[in-house]
């Protein structure tokens, strides 16, 4: 019972965490849509090029951080990867959230829903 109480407290505490500032000027583009397991996809965002880092996450249990790279010539940050074709990754609709960090301030983020086939 004690472990359950501690787990419940952790879940409630995590739910109260702030995500930062939703930034309507951020444009997130993911291609191709829908995303197919086992096939590459690219995410691009117009975050400031002087940002310290840009990180994305798929809002599902166990999602790794998606570390974006900077392309100065195109003026964007991008992430290229493949969703694995495995029994742990189920088709469905997921929310992708991407945030950029500058200094010690709150991150700015945007999000969008994507279909995974």
Taking only the tens place, the pLDDT of each residue in 26-44 is 999 999 999 999 899 999 9
Contact between 29 and 43 under an 8 Å Cβ cutoff? The reply is yes
More confident residue, 106 or 87: 106
| pLDDT at residue 101, rounded to an integer | 96
Say what the pTM is: 0.80
Burial pattern 100-111, b for ≥16 Cβ within 10 A else e, equals: bbeeeeebbbbb
Sequence-distant (6+) residues with CB within 8 A of 108 are 20, 21, 22, 23, 26, 47, 99, 100, 102
Per 3-state DSSP, the chain is made up of helix, strand and coil in percentages (nearest 5) of 10, 45, 45
Q: How far is CA 98 from CA 10, 28, 29, 48, 74, in A?
A: 23, 8, 11, 13, 18
Domains, the chain, with CATH or none: 20-116 (2.60.40.10)
Distance in Å from the first CA to the final CA of the chain: 39
Give CA–CA dist 61/75, Å, rounded: 32
Q: What is the pLDDT of residue 54?
A: 97
- The fraction of the chain above a pLDDT of 70, given in percent, is 85
The string of pLDDT tens digits covering residues 101-113 is: 998 889 999 999 9
What average pLDDT does the segment 74-98 reach?
Answer: 90
Residue 13: pLDDT over 80: no
């Amino acid at each position: 019972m004690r472990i359950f109480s501690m787990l419940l407290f952790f879940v409630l505490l995590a739910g109260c965490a702030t995500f930062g500032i939703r930034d309507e000027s951020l444009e997130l583009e993911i291609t191709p849509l829908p995303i197919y397991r086992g096939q590459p996809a690219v995410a691009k965002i117009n975050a400031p090029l002087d940002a310290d880092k840009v990180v994305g996450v798929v809002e599902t249990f166990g999602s790794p951080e998606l570390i974006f790279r900077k392309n100065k010539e195109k003026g964007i940050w991008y992430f290229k990867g493949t969703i694995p074709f495995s029994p742990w990754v189920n088709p469905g609709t997921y929310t992708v959230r991407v945030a950029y960090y500058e200094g010690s301030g709150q991150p700015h983020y945007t999000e969008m829903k994507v279909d995974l086939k």
